[in-house]
Amino acid sequence: MNPEEKLLAELSDAIGIVREELTKEGFDLARLKTASGFEKLKSLMDVKELINANDETRKRFEISARAVFRKYKSCLTFQTVEDFKADYQAIRFIYASLEEDKQKADTTAIIQRLNEIVSEAIDIQTDGEDDRVFDISKVNFEVLRKEFAKSDRKASDVQDLRTVIQKRLEKMLLENPSLGDFQDRFDEIVVEYNKEKDRNTIEATFEALMRLTAEMEEEAQSHVALGLTPEQKPIFDLLTQDDLSKEEIKQIKAVSVGLLQAVRKRIEEVQDVFSKQSTRDGLHQEIYDLLYDERTGLPASKYDNAALAERTALVFNFFERRAQHAMAA
């Protein structure tokens, strides 16, 4: 075979793989090649619902589609590549829409697609002029469950919700690394979801994700009840422990406020404080001294030298990660 015949044959095979995979799932690629207007949009929604069935089906389609794109590009100089253009465009259309869903995944959009039920099922109580306190006990999960049952694209709704939660988790863990339990629970939900794909599993996964979302929202507002700002709360979480009295908790709140102020001041005064070992050591020591000090530090009866060293390292690493992320951004 000459190069043209070989490359066109490879392109044909790559398209055939995608077509066969979609046919197995119950979708005829020809629908997107011939449809227009509303029917084309309906066909797109149908095929995305099949592709979003689980991580394996979505990954398999994405890999196969990218193989088509590579093969098609290698054949652009051949006149007969036009014979494959309609198939290529149909596959590109699906792939681009899936990517757009990832990029534009937004909680509000998902809520709207579920008939704006979350606004009705969740009660946000106001505490003061600007503070919003989220109470998970006010979430009517029965309403959410019933409305989701009406959806004709459950797999895609779950996929979109997963994308939103993962983005929020990344932001939450950057702001407060002590919240790793949320990531662990999210990973467990995804693992269970990928084990089997019946109707009950999809609906149970949606409810589990909505409960996790509600608890994440509750956590995002938890600083209000403590009388702290969102910036002070992660420091408090890194310093606190279980066996504390009310007075000791109050003391650690004050430590969190003072420590945040002191570290911010040092970072502002010393350029690239984390780039040199001498300035790193200086900041590390300052954090330790503040935590050790009888006036500004942690309760001596509950935090021994080993605990002080551990909390110092946690706080130092927290600020270093934040600084590195800010530079990268």
pLDDT in tens, 172-207: 998 999 999 999 999 999 888 887 666 678 888 888
The last residue of one of the domains, among 53, 86, 101, is 101
Query: Is 105 or 33 the better-scoring residue by pLDDT?
Result: 33
CA distances from 184 to 50, 169, 212, 220 (A): 27, 10, 11, 17
The last residue of one of the domains, among 189, 221, 253, is 221
Q: How far apart are CA 114 and CA 123, in angstroms?
A: 17
The model's confidence at residue 92, banded by pLDDT at 50, 70 and 90, is: very high
pLDDT of residue 72: 96
For the residues 102-127, what does the mean pLDDT come to? 53
Q: What's the CA dihedral at 65, 70, 73, 78 to 10 degrees?
A: -100
131 sits in which H/E element: strand 131-134
- Residue 134 pLDDT > 80, yes or no? no
pLDDT of residue 181: 93
* Residue 227, domain member (yes or no): no
Q: Which residues, at least 6 apart from 114, have a Cβ–Cβ distance to it below 8 Å?
A: 144, 147, 148, 151, 157
pLDDT of residue 115: 45
pLDDT of residue 235: 95
Q: Helix (H, G, I), strand (E, B), or coil: what is residue 124?
A: strand
**Domain count along the chain:** 3
Let me know whether 257 and 160 are in one domain: no
Report yes or no: 108 and 200 within 8 Å, Cβ to Cβ.
no
Let me know whether 237 and 195 are in one domain: no
Domain that holds residue 59: 3-101
Give me the chain's average pLDDT, please: 86
Which residues does residue 134 pair with via DSSP β-bridges, in sequence order? 124
